[in-house]
Amino acid sequence: MSEKTIFKRIIDRELPADIVYEDETCMAFKDINPAAPVHILLVPKKEITGADKLTEEDGPMLAHMFIVAAKIAAEQGLKDGYRMITNCGKAAGQTVFHLHFHILGGGKRMPWA
């Protein structure tokens, strides 16, 4: 069996994290190396390596995660907006191969890139 990712170990409470949200479907915690004043990682509990491995049956899970993201953004004070991104594959900068969304915001208006 392949080794657990860092995020699976956080979900399983084997590694500490600053958890801001959890339910039966997903968990959100602060990024250890924030790229914005607010930088939260939202991860599904289901083990999926990345966005390219999603299937039609993951639709409800994804919809739920977008709704959760909006709640987290509101709780984190991101009233003017937030960015929600996922890096898919090494060339895109993915370093942890457990699907996750970065929720970024705060501070000045973000440049596109």
Compute how many residues bind ligand 5GP; rule: CB under 6 A.
13
Q: Strand order of the sheet with strand 38-44?
A: 19-22, 26-30, 38-44, 101-105, 83-85
Note whether 5 binds ligand 5GP by CB under 6 A. Answer: no
Residue placing its CB nearer to ligand 5GP in the complex, 57 or 105: 105
CA–CA dist 15, 77 (Å, integer): 27
**Interface of this chain with ligand 5GP, residues 51 to 90, rule: CB under 6 A:** 87
Residue placing its CB nearer to ligand 5GP in the complex, 60 or 105: 105
Is residue 100 part of the annotated active site? The answer reads yes
Q: Which of 55, 56, 90, 95 binds ligand 5GP (CB under 6 A)?
A: 95
Smallest distance, ligand 5GP to C-beta of residue 87, A: 4
**Interface of this chain with ligand 5GP, residues 7 to 36, rule: CB under 6 A:** 17, 29-33
- With a CB cutoff of 8 Å and minimum separation 6, the contacts of 94 are 50, 87, 88
Smallest distance, ligand 5GP to C-beta of residue 93, A: 5
What residues form DSSP beta bridges with 40? 30, 103
CB atoms within 10 A of CB 82: 21
CA–CA dist 99, 51 (Å, integer): 6
User: Catalytic positions, please?
Assistant: 100
